[in-house]
Structure 1
Amino acid sequence: MTLAPTASRPGSLRLLRPLASPLVIVPAVCAVLACLLMTPLTVPIGAFYWDLFIYFDAANRIFSGQVPGLDFFTPVGPLGYWLFALCERLFPSAQPLLLVQWSLLIVTGPLIALVAHDVDRRSRALALALLLPFLVFQILPINVTEYYSYPSVDGFGIYNRQITEILYVLVAALVFARSRRIMLAVIVTTMLALFLIKVTGFFAGGLLCVVALLARRIDLRLSLAAALGFLLVLAGLELWLGVVSAYLGDIAALLALNEESLLPRFLQAASIHFTVFGPLALLMLLLLVLDGRDMVDKAKALFRSPGASSLAALVDRPLVWIAAATFAALFVETQNTGGQGFIFVWPVLLMAWDRRGRIAGTRLGLLAVLIAAASLPYLTEVTARAARAFVGQIKYERLAGDHLGQLGLVSQRSEIMHHAEVMKGIFAAHPETYEAIATAGELPNFTLYNEPDFQLAWLMAVDEAVGAINAFEAEHDVRFGTIMSLNFTNPFPWLLGREAPKGIAIGADPFRAVPDPDAAILSSVEATDLVLYPRCPITDANEKLRDLYAPALEALTKITLSPCWEAYVAPDVAAKLGTKSAAAGPLRPSLAAKP
């Protein structure tokens, strides 16, 4: 009686084994995520959440025929915006942070499935050890560093998350893939994606590809084929849209705006990520001790008989790969902190364990401890914060709003929600206080933008503005076809079904990402039907944006649209209100927001 169940176990395991195949897991995960995107879920709003709304500004411009980089200035490349716009068409009711986070699976999903499948032919355990951590980081919209203590998600660092997730796939292929076709497909696609999302990631990926070439993980023929494929796609995009040259021009403009030494940024990145950088440094020291004698022998052999084989024998070892991946991770973080920095070091750590050879005893224990210390902190940080956020929001209150659409699919503690509403009223009632703070070049508090109560108050103000615009148009029989906001992001064309003026930067940080406007841009601003200026609160950044575009605004008329918003309109619209020109003197309020 006891033999039958025992005998049936191996058969049951054989039946379950195909379900653990990467070619099954990845499509199944994508199908589940697609179902979730069909549901209007909410997420607990977190630090710098308004970074997310840049994607709506970009998508609205793309839908109206504008090309990123060509028709509007972008802080990064166009691919992330294109992916979001495509997914927005497919899932128009989706929670936007989940939508932008999961849109990258269009690129990374098939590639990681192919790499893991290639590895799976040799070792199922190794394939899953590569695949499962990747899926955790790809699915969860959580950064590895925390900027706010209450449970919440991260709507910022999205570009950085995307490039590190792509780099994870590239490193996994360079280290573990054996199929030349898979290797070629991964290198071409990931390097294109890195270039078209954020060029910092492209340089990091290039460094790792050079290491792979020196280590003979890829040969010269495959490298040339990958380079040719990469250049052909870019040439096609340039001939079709002219987007590549425009993107390179944007990069040059951003470099001119951010002329700082890299060394302090490397030190900053190392300190921020010391949780994993410290163990990585110790691990490299351990590997140097364990492998140093052989490295010296291989270096001598290379000196005596230079050649590709002897160079590969020196380069293709865990110490070199870990050093290259660590440097690449630091370089990525020098350009913008936040995201999932260092996650793509995991495949080379896995390689170090897989190639441990005859190491045993205390040395093996040290190796295991340091690999765990360098890999587990961020994995546990992301999963723990995500669990805390999605469980914690069970008792959270959803943001109320009549005009926010998908932007309003957020929640937060009722006390924070109430505080945001109270502060919005104070911002509107006492503008002189916040104007004085802005004039001094300061914020009301040093961490204003990373606090969810500010993000909520800003969304409440956006809701107020949309209602006020609708009321204004109905009362005065006008329609604003183009809308601009003198603010970091401009969601109003999206929310109202209008267009944004051409040439204007999205993600408008005037201190880092808005070049001085030329005559064409000033002309575009002057021709804009409605230019909004936020007053809840007044900030130095918004005042600097207004100063940048002041020559064009002088031709428009300033009105008070609502307690939280001033606006600049064409003189013919102002004539219907009987208001004076903004350049001629003080203006009386023309309209208050209707309840």
Structure 2
Amino acid sequence: MISAGHHDRQTRVLARLCSPLLILAATIVVLGCLLLLPLTVPIGAFYWDLFIYFDAANRIFSGQIPGVDFFTPVGPLGYWLFAAVDAIFPRGQPLLLVQWSTLIVTGPLIALVVADVDKRSRGTALALLLPFLVFQILPINVTEYYYFPSVDGFGIYNRQIAEILYVLCAALLFVTARRTLFLTVTGTMLALFLIKITGFIGGGLICVVALSARRVDIKLSLLVAAIFLAVLAVLQLWLGIITAYLDDILALLFLNEGDLLQRFLQAASIHFRVFGPLCLLILALFVMDFRGLGRRAKAVSQTPNATSLAGLADQPLIWVAATAFAALFVEAQNTGGQGFIFVWPALLMTWQRRGTLNAARTALLATLIAASTLPYLTEVVARGARAFIGQIKYERLANTHLGTLGAVTQRPEIMQHARVMKAIYTTDPKTYEAIAKAGELPSYTLYNEPDFQLTWLMSVDEAVGAIKALEAEKQIHFNTIMSLNFTNPFPWLLDRQAPRLIAIGADPTRAVPNPDASVLASVRATDLILYPLCPITAANRLLRDLYAPALTNETKISLSPCWDAYLSPQIAASLKMSGGDAPSPRPAVSN
């Protein structure tokens, strides 16, 4: 027979193993070990979004400041986090690096939250921690853009703010310790502001509800605001980054003017799998507590004070509605990511505060909460499992010069299709130039097709080889390199400089302001400017047109089958070339 003492020891060991803090610490250690290994991931839709981080990190390592020295589509913190983690794990797979770098912020904050909650309920602490870890670990968006097993190299900014908003909601709804609440709210709101302003606005809405519900009091709110402003003031005085960041936000607002209602409808449509059940849940909560809500609303109208307002605001209906609206707002600004995951703490609180309901109402509530959460949880887990198991038979991208950027795989037939299309782009460029002149793409979904992403990486590998060959042949050195393309990985791959003031993530339709005199001067001073031909696209033509005033005195050469290049007058003079003459012989490159 097993003694009572032995059984107690087993129970204590099991309790320690189930400790949320132990699970979190073990997870972080395992992730760190994985970043030491030369892992690959199956390349997916819009994967080249990931390489924006390498452009930014290269600039940061060379002393440039996000927003001050180059235009950014979002705030600086995500780039700083990636640069720090890449410096520690230089062999790490890039997408895993950027996905897990957010743990520098979210790890300590979620630890504070679950440590506080665990004192009262281990089950609740685990119910908050485990879903968070799923979304934090897997580089998978909640909506699918490509049907073959793959990972998502886009929507990274949105994933980051969704994960931070998750921590904020968990803290506001479940933390009771005043110091912990202060640290988590301050930390999450600072991170949201410095990563993406839409996340900060969504978090601000949730904080307003928390203040109304007296989850946080005025004194704590003022203290959070004071520390928040103090940190921003330090960053502004030290780096001048805050005003530059706000200027970039204003520029993006002008570039992305549109119908806000249409964006909300689009976000609601994309996320209807969970937004629909959330709306039904809000309606059900309203019906179930109709009389109670009426009494609380009447109390507010008759005695409008903090106590009566808190009685109305601190209700499951209000919390679910507020977090759902905040999620919809975040998604309306830029779709893609892990939208709506941070509604879960409000849903968990709703279930715990359900009170005494009959069987039918309990079943209805459970069904609607499950329908509002399980679709995205199962989507991310299933797609993550498919991606990392499915790539066992995938082919690794062959390359010579890509380093960790080439740590990707894909189905052999897709890899072959990419090679064939790259060859066709070079042998039949007129077709694709005609398509680009019409303002269209060869395929409406070109950028989210993995074969295009592979073709692009193959052409980048070709260009790096061509640059090295040209430098060796002509005994020259390109110190600054720019790409008339969405992203510019060349300075990183060649250990060179990127020109100052140039936008990263260069989508000319929504993320590249018209260049002023200082930007054009920076372009003129650039040693080598690359123009991609595999394929020629309308977006790249628009970028070339934007910077055309700075290219008039450049010498255009054919660098390789997939790339034209513009050489600065100084470099061209050193090569003793005239007008449109090309180097001879053409550099040999390997695909």
| TM tier relative to shorter chain | over 0.9
In the TM superposition, residue 19 of structure 1 has moved relative to its aligned partner by 2.0
Instruction: State the partner residue of 1:296.
Output: 294
Root-mean-square deviation (CA, aligned residues, Å) is 1.2
In the TM superposition, residue 300 of structure 1 has moved relative to its aligned partner by 1.0
Contact kept? 2:75, 2:245, Cα under 8 Å: yes
In the TM superposition, residue 588 of structure 1 has moved relative to its aligned partner by 8.5
Contact kept? 1:558, 1:581, Cα under 8 Å: yes
Q: What CA distance in whole angstroms lies between the structure 2 residues aligned with 1:83 and 1:342?
A: 24
Instruction: State the partner residue of 2:578.
Output: 580
In the TM superposition, residue 302 of structure 1 has moved relative to its aligned partner by 1.5
Q: What CA distance in whole angstroms lies between the structure 2 residues aligned with 1:593 and 1:159?
A: 38
Q: What CA distance in whole angstroms lies between the structure 1 residues aligned with 2:342 and 2:398?
A: 39
Q: Could you tell me which amino acid in structure 2 is paired with residue 24 of structure 1?
A: L
Instruction: State the partner residue of 1:8.
Output: 6
Q: What CA distance in whole angstroms lies between the structure 1 residues aligned with 2:98 and 2:19?
A: 27
Q: Could you tell me which amino acid in structure 2 is paired with residue 379 of structure 1?
A: L
Secondary structure in 2 aligned to 1:4?
Answer: coil
Q: Could you tell me which amino acid in structure 1 is paired with residue 232 of structure 2?
A: L
> Which range moved further: 25-34 or 166-175?
25-34
Instruction: State the partner residue of 1:406.
Output: 404
In the TM superposition, residue 102 of structure 1 has moved relative to its aligned partner by 0.2
1:154 correspondence with 2:152: yes
Q: Could you tell me which amino acid in structure 2 is paired with residue 502 of structure 1?
A: R
Instruction: State the partner residue of 2:366.
Output: 368
Q: What CA distance in whole angstroms lies between the structure 1 residues aligned with 2:310 and 2:460?
A: 58
Structure 1 residues 113-262: aligned runs within 5 Å: 113-262=111-260
Contact kept? 2:470, 2:587, Cα under 8 Å: no
Instruction: State the partner residue of 1:351.
Output: 349
Q: What CA distance in whole angstroms lies between the structure 2 residues aligned with 1:519 and 1:591?
A: 34
Per-residue CA deviations over 1:314-348 (Å, capped at 9, x if unaligned) read 11000000000010000000111000000000000
Q: What CA distance in whole angstroms lies between the structure 1 residues aligned with 2:582 and 2:137?
A: 50
1:508 correspondence with 2:506: yes
Name which of 489, 492, 511 aligns with 2:490.
492
Q: Could you tell me which amino acid in structure 2 is paired with residue 437 of structure 1?
A: I
Q: What CA distance in whole angstroms lies between the structure 2 residues aligned with 1:448 and 1:480?
A: 31
Contact kept? 1:561, 1:590, Cα under 8 Å: no
Name which of 96, 99, 102 aligns with 2:100.
102
Instruction: State the partner residue of 2:395.
Output: 397
Query: Where does structure 1 lack aligned partners over 5 or more consecutive residues?
Result: none
Instruction: State the partner residue of 2:40.
Output: 42
Per-residue CA deviations over 1:486-518 (Å, capped at 9, x if unaligned) read 000000000000000000000000000000000
Instruction: State the partner residue of 2:556.
Output: 558
> Which range moved further: 77-86 or 572-581?
572-581
In the TM superposition, residue 575 of structure 1 has moved relative to its aligned partner by 4.1
Q: What CA distance in whole angstroms lies between the structure 2 residues aligned with 1:54 and 1:384?
A: 27
- Structure 1 residues 589 and 367: CA distance shift in structure 2, 3 A: farther
1:594 correspondence with 2:589: yes
What count of residue pairs does the alignment treat as equivalent?
A: 590
In the TM superposition, residue 592 of structure 1 has moved relative to its aligned partner by 4.2
Name which of 524, 536, 541 aligns with 1:526.
524
Q: Could you tell me which amino acid in structure 2 is paired with residue 21 of structure 1?
A: S
Structure 1 residues 322-333: aligned runs within 5 Å: 322-333=320-331
1:464 correspondence with 2:462: yes
Secondary structure in 1 aligned to 2:231?
Answer: helix
In the TM superposition, residue 359 of structure 1 has moved relative to its aligned partner by 1.4
Secondary structure in 2 aligned to 1:306?
Answer: coil
Q: What CA distance in whole angstroms lies between the structure 1 residues aligned with 2:472 and 2:203?
A: 53
Name which of 374, 382, 385 aligns with 1:384.
382
In the TM superposition, residue 85 of structure 1 has moved relative to its aligned partner by 0.3
- Structure 1 residues 470 and 588: CA distance shift in structure 2, 3 A: closer
Q: What CA distance in whole angstroms lies between the structure 2 residues aligned with 1:300 and 1:416?
A: 64
In the TM superposition, residue 579 of structure 1 has moved relative to its aligned partner by 4.2
Could you state the TM-score of these two structures normalised by the residue count of structure 2?
0.98
Q: What CA distance in whole angstroms lies between the structure 2 residues aligned with 1:459 and 1:560?
A: 19
Instruction: State the partner residue of 1:93.
Output: 91
Q: Could you tell me which amino acid in structure 1 is paired with residue 9 of structure 2?
A: G
Q: Could you tell me which amino acid in structure 2 is paired with residue 581 of structure 1?
A: G
Q: Could you tell me which amino acid in structure 1 is paired with residue 31 of structure 2?
A: L
Contact kept? 1:559, 1:589, Cα under 8 Å: no
Q: What CA distance in whole angstroms lies between the structure 2 residues aligned with 1:472 and 1:224?
A: 60
Contact kept? 2:415, 2:454, Cα under 8 Å: yes
Contact kept? 1:48, 1:155, Cα under 8 Å: yes
Secondary structure in 2 aligned to 1:92?
Answer: coil
Per-residue CA deviations over 1:172-224 (Å, capped at 9, x if unaligned) read 00001001101000111100000000000000000000000000000000000
Could you state the TM-score of these two structures normalised by the residue count of structure 1?
0.98
Contact kept? 1:21, 1:117, Cα under 8 Å: no
Q: Could you tell me which amino acid in structure 2 is paired with residue 530 of structure 1?
A: L
Name which of 464, 472, 475 aligns with 2:473.
475
Name which of 49, 72, 93 aligns with 1:51.
49
Contact kept? 2:132, 2:166, Cα under 8 Å: yes
Secondary structure in 2 aligned to 1:566?
Answer: strand
In the TM superposition, residue 572 of structure 1 has moved relative to its aligned partner by 3.9
Contact kept? 1:529, 1:570, Cα under 8 Å: yes
> Which range moved further: 294-303 or 400-409?
294-303
In the TM superposition, residue 16 of structure 1 has moved relative to its aligned partner by 1.9
Name which of 547, 550, 566 aligns with 1:549.
547
In the TM superposition, residue 21 of structure 1 has moved relative to its aligned partner by 1.5
Q: What CA distance in whole angstroms lies between the structure 2 residues aligned with 1:304 and 1:552?
A: 67
Secondary structure in 1 aligned to 2:522?
Answer: helix
Secondary structure in 1 aligned to 2:173?
Answer: helix
Q: What CA distance in whole angstroms lies between the structure 2 residues aligned with 1:197 and 1:90?
A: 21
In the TM superposition, residue 581 of structure 1 has moved relative to its aligned partner by 2.4
Q: Could you tell me which amino acid in structure 2 is paired with residue 470 of structure 1?
A: K
Q: Could you tell me which amino acid in structure 2 is paired with residue 82 of structure 1?
A: W
Name which of 21, 24, 34 aligns with 1:26.
24
Contact kept? 1:94, 1:406, Cα under 8 Å: yes
- Structure 1 residues 28 and 590: CA distance shift in structure 2, 3 A: same
Name which of 422, 425, 430 aligns with 1:424.
422
Instruction: State the partner residue of 2:318.
Output: 320
Contact kept? 2:55, 2:491, Cα under 8 Å: yes
Q: What CA distance in whole angstroms lies between the structure 2 residues aligned with 1:593 and 1:498?
A: 21
Q: What CA distance in whole angstroms lies between the structure 2 residues aligned with 1:6 and 1:412?
A: 55
In the TM superposition, residue 7 of structure 1 has moved relative to its aligned partner by 6.4
Q: What CA distance in whole angstroms lies between the structure 2 residues aligned with 1:204 and 1:133?
A: 20
Name which of 304, 309, 314 aligns with 1:306.
304
> Which range moved further: 129-138 or 565-574?
565-574
Q: Could you tell me which amino acid in structure 1 is paired with residue 552 of structure 2?
A: E
Secondary structure in 2 aligned to 1:453?
Answer: helix
Contact kept? 2:158, 2:338, Cα under 8 Å: yes
1:73 correspondence with 2:68: no
Instruction: State the partner residue of 1:284.
Output: 282
In the TM superposition, residue 577 of structure 1 has moved relative to its aligned partner by 5.0
- Structure 1 residues 458 and 121: CA distance shift in structure 2, 3 A: same
Secondary structure in 2 aligned to 1:41?
Answer: coil
Q: Could you tell me which amino acid in structure 2 is paired with residue 275 of structure 1?
A: R
In the TM superposition, residue 587 of structure 1 has moved relative to its aligned partner by 6.7
Contact kept? 2:479, 2:527, Cα under 8 Å: yes
Q: What CA distance in whole angstroms lies between the structure 2 residues aligned with 1:573 and 1:287?
A: 70
Name which of 331, 342, 347 aligns with 2:340.
342
